Structure 1
Amino acid sequence: MKNHWIQHPLVLKGNEITLLPLEKEHLDQLFLAASNKEIWELTSVDYSVEEIFYPNFNKALEERNNGSVYPFVIVYNLTNQIIGTTRLLDIYPNDKKLEIGVTWIMKEFWGTAINLECKLVLLQHCFETLQANRVQFRAKDNNLRSRRAIEKIGGVFEGILRNDKIEPNGIPRNTSFYSILQEEWENVKVNIEAQIALKVNC
């Protein structure tokens, strides 16, 4: 592994989840976690399709070597089961900015503290270890579930890029962009920790 901004292997631990660097031996279990079609109803890509899943995640492993992407699997600590994935991408060390994205978890864990914990440990590493100035998020403009999740953790809406990407069906899509800045991090952190406490204590 070359000397990049994000040092490999990077393991991030929360109370309920651990983020482990994605490796080839994780792919089959992660593909199994992706099998529920409901996960992909609002997204551009259906990772329950084998011909889509394996090329994408093998490419992410290749891109980790050049420092542009850092993919994780999300492990549920109670069962040691892989329940989803997330990654750091669009990594620009010179500008001290990067993006959190390609995040999904099994439907059984929707509405729990899992996604919040993932974002907490990732943002904590970005702002407190990497000393990033900016962390970006994006979502398909009509994916209201993802957009609400970003807004709940404190992502500030910056606007919509029209016809930003071409969908697999050939139709252009709009993308909503959000960010959190270094000076906003402490308030965001308190907000996320409070939301986690509420969900855990429900």
Structure 2
Amino acid sequence: MNFDLQPTLENDLIKVVPLKESDFDALFAVASDPLIWEQHPNRDRYKRDVFGNFFKGAMESKGAFIVYEKETNKIAGSSRYYELDEEDSSVAIGYTFIAREFWGKGHNKALKTLMLDYAFQFVDKIILHIGAMNFRSQKASEKLGAIKISEIEVAYYGEPVKWNFVYQIDRVNWETIH
């Protein structure tokens, strides 16, 4: 399998590029908004030290991105690929957050669509781990065609275990609805 976990992807709305160490301060400026994390299992990720741990995990994943709005070149957020499983023909997409100024404007859908279209060239299933109380993300994932398949405890990189729902999108279903 030749799945590059950090390609550069773009459409008319956004550009998704590999995350670099030098992106920390600019990305933290976006992530420091507590309202972004209010439904997330780790609600204190807006704090610099907590976000620093998140960022370290993003860098070590070798699948993380920073997302720019193309029109303004403002940082719109971040996401990543992780847990590539060639045997199961699956990869997870997650750790996504979008700046509030871009909520409800199609940026999250554009991001996930780019990431799903790219990943489905290599795998048959996409997995999404979503916090049990993160209703915004659950609803957004369901709009993309994701189906809840289980519930698990997840320990995010260096963080306490939290209850999550596991959603899945199959390539066949994705190709049918897109």
* TM-score, normalising length: structure 2: 0.90
CA contact (8 A) 2:41 2:134 kept: no
Q: Provide Cα deviations, 1:46-73, integer angstroms capped at 9, x if missing partner.
A: 3321111123212322232xxxxx0001
Aligned counterpart in structure 2 of residue 112 of structure 1, from 105, 110, 128: 105
Higher relative contact order (CA 8 A, sep 6+): 2
Counting only pairs closer than 5 Å after superposition, residues 41-190 of structure 1 correspond to structure 2 as 41-45=38-42, 46-64=44-62, 70-128=63-121, 130=122, 132-161=123-152, 164-165=153-154, 173-189=162-178
Larger Rg: 1
Counterparts in 2 of 1:94 and 1:59: CA distance versus 1, 3 Å = same
> How many angstroms apart in 1 are the aligned matches of 2:85 and 2:162?
25
Aligned partner of 1:52: which letter? V
CA contact (8 A) 1:89 1:100 kept: yes
Counterparts in 2 of 1:59 and 1:152: CA distance versus 1, 3 Å = same
| CA RMSD across the alignment | 2.1
> How many angstroms apart in 1 are the aligned matches of 2:145 and 2:162?
24
SS class of match (1:59): helix
Counting only pairs closer than 5 Å after superposition, residues 13-52 of structure 1 correspond to structure 2 as 13-45=10-42, 46-52=44-50
> How many angstroms apart in 2 are the aligned matches of 1:88 and 1:8?
6
CA contact (8 A) 2:6 2:64 kept: no
> How many angstroms apart in 2 are the aligned matches of 1:177 and 1:8?
21
Greater helix share, 1 or 2? 1
| Structure 1 residue 6: Cα displacement | 3.1
Residue segments in structure 1 that go unaligned for 5+ positions in a row: 65-69, 190-202
Aligned partner of 1:56: which letter? F
Aligned length: 176
CA contact (8 A) 1:31 1:47 kept: no
Q: Provide Cα deviations, 1:94-138, integer angstroms capped at 9, x if missing partner.
A: 32210110111111111111011001100000113x2x1110112
Percent identity of paired positions between Structure 1 and Structure 2? 27
Identify the residue that residue 12 of structure 1 maps to in structure 2: 9
| Structure 1 residue 159: Cα displacement | 2.6
Residue segments in structure 2 that go unaligned for 5+ positions in a row: none
